[in-house]
Amino acid sequence: MKLRSPFPCPLFVKRLPGRVLPLLALLAAGMLRAQPGGAASYDLWLRFDRVQNPALLGAYREAFGGIWMDPQGPTQQVIWDELTRGLGSLLGQSPEKRPTPNGSNLLLVATADKLPPEVRSQLSLDQLREEGFLIRQLQAGANSRLVLTALEDKGLLYGAYRLLRLLQTERPIAGVNLLDAPKTALRMLNHWDNLDRTVERGYAGASIWNWHTLPGYIDPRYADYARANASLGINATVVTNVNANALVLTAPYLEKVKALAGVMRPYGIRLFLTARFSAPIEIGGLATADPLDPAVIAWWQSKADEIYALIPDFGGFVVKANSEGQPGPQNYGRSHLEGANMLADALAPHGGLLIWRAFVYSEHDPTDRAKQAYSEFLPYDGQFRDNVLLQVKNGPIDFQPREPVHPLFGAMKKTPLVMEFQITKEYLGFATHLVFLPKLFEEVLQTDTWQQGEGSTVARVVDGSLYGHTLSGMAGVANIGSDLNWTGHPFGQADWYGFGRLAWDPGLKAGALAEEWIRSTLGNDPEMVETIKKLLLDSREAVVNYMMPLGLHHLFDTGHHYGPGPWVGNLSRPEWNPVYYHQASPEGVGFDRTPTGSNAVAQYALPLANKYGNLDSCPEEFLLWFHHLPWDYRMKSGATLWDALGLKYQEGVESVRQITATWESLQGKIEPELYQQVQMLLNIQQEEARWWKDACMRYFQTFSKLPFPEGMEPPQHSLEYYQSLKFPYAPGTRPSWN
């Protein structure tokens, strides 16, 4: 096996000695931990630097002269601590604790039932919703009293973070009247973290869950994690990998889980575990895991009893079954429906939820992989228990840089669907590439499925409003690890942030979220905010173009998914091979999913099926997802497909160069360590963007036999060179998948 890097001397190494080595030395000495306030650092978006704008600072100081609050219980204690610490630091002076709710320049914090009647009567409290809050100024001017209220502690907690964000992002407080509530019930992170602290598809260090030292040692980081999530409204976390290990369900591990759940509780976060379907055999000593076997049913019931005795607010199980080698009901000739309902019944008496993943495809099924989940699950619609949710990835293949939406959204009417997004960048350049994911999330959520006529957006499926589901949710595969800044790439924090905010309200816009994140993390300098916002918003289209433009997908190299491997065609399962997805031949390229091909378009509502299936109306970005076309096919621009492909790849490379130049224009406005870190990463990204273009175009040229279009920089190396590259230690990979 040849071991070669694509770059003779990686830029990373070249740039290390000068400025980074002293930083690394500091890191090793543990000194950076002592100053976690650096931009885009450990503090995430919860930096509370002194407000810079003098007029606003004056107004805020006046408004927050004192706080009236009588903290009761752990959540209210968190609220009190956050408000006093946050306001103290934003204003440069701590508000006094006031013994009575009377007076002026006062913040009143209480659940609605505890507000003084005279205050209650001035508010429309019937508009408050579960987990929601109201922030309202009662009188203007010097007599200002600001009220933060909610039906329950959790709402107050979310309101407290929102209030602090108003100040962080320099919003006026005069006349504020902000009523908000989450649109979805479950706002959830999924950790693909293993018990040995490796993280599947994780690129930010080891797992933050230190199972070895739990339950005795509670790493302070657990509470920092909970706090960051609560500040966005995230209210659930699945702490173990969907490729599950049954051990986590044994008594010693459940003690550890209990300790973690205890940390999460004051922050309003319910803990979930992944359940390995074969656990009754592996840790229960049974001979079978057949979901209809009475002993198996009893085993899961008693396991649920055991868990709830330890953790009364335990969320429930998330299950990946009969997918990519995971055990499941089909091993016993039973269906996904039977498996899910059996587990749901075990959880139901305790109020637990069962989240079943729809990510299934089979090597024994010769039909288009993009169609399989829909065919498998749609027939069960209406037959799942009330506490079952089906978790569906945003697209029908697998977290590609761009996919059309999964056809189950909108089609599955009687079952609540949880949206599954990937925040970690398995298929998007790991934690090296700057790609602002809320842009991708927004595109998916705003897509109209047309299942109930115009306006049946995915956002409305996910928030439950399209079909009137009270259970609803959004899950994000976490990009969090033990790295000092949590996410590897400092801008990965923006993806976590954006995901959390969109889970709260799937209708939010990526541009607004970018701005919120920049202001609360990096500061409010208007030029800096605008420049970084543009850079973030441009970054998603850039990666699509330099990796797989015009609807190409899954061109990744085997197993690790780092870098291009469009030539891979020798894997045991056909649908693991890039050649399965691009179908390149001397005749053309692309996957025919129209009625002349796999007819996957038929799984969408008619207006969408027509739009995608018809060459005149199919958006260019999905062209080769739905159509197989000759190399000389004429695009709307008049260019041939071959030329258009090369120029799109080139456009992607140019965009990264542009993004780098934009970043460099900010030198001096950004804290030096952050500036340098991002600049180095952007340089790697530029090299890798070029690598993608060169490798893919070289490979496709073996079929098209056409010269590269004018305007496309010729590849740097031969095809054999790109094919020879191997990365046995690429991060985030399961050893067995290499």
Task: Dump strand ranges (E) for 303-380.
Answer: 316-319, 353-357
User: Strand, coil or helix: what is 71?
Assistant: coil
Judge whether 324 counts as a catalytic residue. yes
528: tokens are: 């800096």
Q: Does 193 bind ligand GCW (CB under 6 A)?
A: no
Candidate residues 131, 153, 200, 654; the one interacting with ligand GCW per rule CB under 6 A: 200
| Number of residues counted as binding ligand GCW (CB under 6 A) | 11
Residues 73-102 interacting with ligand GCW (rule: CB under 6 A): none
- In angstroms, the CA 423 to CA 436 distance is 10
Residue 262 has φ and ψ, to the nearest 5°, of -65, -35
Measured from the CB atom, is 614 or 738 closer to ligand GCW? 738
Q: Which of 398, 483, 643, 694 is catalytic?
A: 398
Measured from the CB atom, is 359 or 708 closer to ligand GCW? 359
Q: How far is the CB of 427 from ligand GCW (least distance, A)?
A: 7
Q: How far is the CB of 588 from ligand GCW (least distance, A)?
A: 28
Of the candidates 417, 415, 423, 460, which has an alpha carbon nearest to the alpha carbon of residue 440? 423
Q: How far is the CB of 161 from ligand GCW (least distance, A)?
A: 30
Q: Residue 252 to residues 257, 350, 558, 695: CA-CA distances in angstroms?
A: 9, 21, 37, 50
- In angstroms, the CA 673 to CA 516 distance is 22
User: Strand, coil or helix: what is 663?
Assistant: helix
Of the candidates 569, 612, 605, 607, which has an alpha carbon nearest to the alpha carbon of residue 591? 612
Q: How far is CA 530 from the centre of its chain?
A: 24
Q: How far is the CB of 299 from ligand GCW (least distance, A)?
A: 25
Measured from the CB atom, is 433 or 690 closer to ligand GCW? 433
Of the candidates 155, 158, 164, 132, which has an alpha carbon nearest to the alpha carbon of residue 64? 164
**Number of residues assigned to the chain:** 738
- In angstroms, the CA 280 to CA 296 distance is 6
Please compute, for residue 282, the number of CA atoms within 13 A of its CA located in the half-sphere on the CB side: 13
215 preceded by a cis bond (ω within 30 of 0): yes
Q: How far is the CB of 345 from ligand GCW (least distance, A)?
A: 24
Q: How far is the CB of 241 from ligand GCW (least distance, A)?
A: 6
Q: Does 277 bind ligand GCW (CB under 6 A)?
A: no
- In angstroms, the CA 382 to CA 378 distance is 9
Handedness of CA 531, 534, 540, 541 (dihedral sign): negative
Of the candidates 54, 63, 49, 65, which has an alpha carbon nearest to the alpha carbon of residue 136? 63
Q: Which of 193, 368, 403, 426 is catalytic?
A: 426
- In angstroms, the CA 381 to CA 411 distance is 9
Measured from the CB atom, is 314 or 576 closer to ligand GCW? 576
Q: How far is the CB of 411 from ligand GCW (least distance, A)?
A: 21
Judge whether 398 counts as a catalytic residue. yes
Residues 243-272 interacting with ligand GCW (rule: CB under 6 A): 243
Candidate residues 320, 469, 690, 698; the one interacting with ligand GCW per rule CB under 6 A: 320
Q: Does 42 bind ligand GCW (CB under 6 A)?
A: no
Of the candidates 135, 233, 125, which has an alpha carbon nearest to the alpha carbon of residue 513? 233
Q: How far is the CB of 351 from ligand GCW (least distance, A)?
A: 27
Q: How far is the CB of 210 from ligand GCW (least distance, A)?
A: 21
Measured from the CB atom, is 320 or 553 closer to ligand GCW? 320
Residues 389-428 interacting with ligand GCW (rule: CB under 6 A): 398-399, 426
- In angstroms, the CA 74 to CA 261 distance is 14
Measured from the CB atom, is 201 or 469 closer to ligand GCW? 201
Q: Find the angle CA(235)-CA(496)-CA(411) to the nearest 5 degrees.
A: 70
Residue whose token pair is 């189950």: 408
Measured from the CB atom, is 102 or 738 closer to ligand GCW? 738
Q: How far is the CB of 735 from ligand GCW (least distance, A)?
A: 12
Per-residue exposure over 114-123, b if at least 16 CB sit within 10 Å of its own CB, e if not: ebeeebeeeb
Residue closest to ligand GCW, measured at CB: 398
Residues 548-577 interacting with ligand GCW (rule: CB under 6 A): none
- In angstroms, the CA 481 to CA 35 distance is 19
Candidate residues 192, 546, 591, 727; the one interacting with ligand GCW per rule CB under 6 A: 192
Q: How far is the CB of 186 from ligand GCW (least distance, A)?
A: 18
Measured from the CB atom, is 330 or 704 closer to ligand GCW? 330
Measured from the CB atom, is 398 or 443 closer to ligand GCW? 398
User: Strand, coil or helix: what is 273?
Assistant: strand
Q: Does 227 bind ligand GCW (CB under 6 A)?
A: no
Measured from the CB atom, is 192 or 567 closer to ligand GCW? 192
Measured from the CB atom, is 48 or 192 closer to ligand GCW? 192
Q: How far is the CB of 21 from ligand GCW (least distance, A)?
A: 34
Helices (H), 196-353: 220-230, 251-264, 279-282, 294-310, 336-347
- In angstroms, the CA 504 to CA 517 distance is 15
- In angstroms, the CA 135 to CA 108 distance is 10
Helix (H) or strand (E) holding 12: helix 11-15
- In angstroms, the CA 651 to CA 546 distance is 7
Q: Residue 363 to residues 336, 493, 689: CA-CA distances in angstroms?
A: 17, 36, 32
Q: How far is the CB of 399 from ligand GCW (least distance, A)?
A: 6
Task: Dump strand ranges (E) for 112-154.
Answer: 133-137, 145-150
Q: How far is CA 125 from the centre of its chain?
A: 33
Q: Which of 49, 293, 313, 324 is catalytic?
A: 324
Measured from the CB atom, is 199 or 226 closer to ligand GCW? 199
Measured from the CB atom, is 149 or 323 closer to ligand GCW? 323
Q: Does 356 bind ligand GCW (CB under 6 A)?
A: no
Q: Does 201 bind ligand GCW (CB under 6 A)?
A: yes
The helices-and-strands tally (H runs, E runs) of the chain is 24, 16
Judge whether 426 counts as a catalytic residue. yes
Residues 712-731 interacting with ligand GCW (rule: CB under 6 A): none
Q: Does 68 bind ligand GCW (CB under 6 A)?
A: no
Residue 492 has φ and ψ, to the nearest 5°, of -60, -25
Candidate residues 109, 189, 238, 242; the one interacting with ligand GCW per rule CB under 6 A: 242
Candidate residues 64, 277, 314, 359; the one interacting with ligand GCW per rule CB under 6 A: 359
Residue whose token pair is 């990744």: 556
> Catalytic site residues?
324, 398, 426
The site for ligand GCW (CB under 6 A) is made up of 192, 200-201, 242-243, 320, 324, 359, 398-399, 426
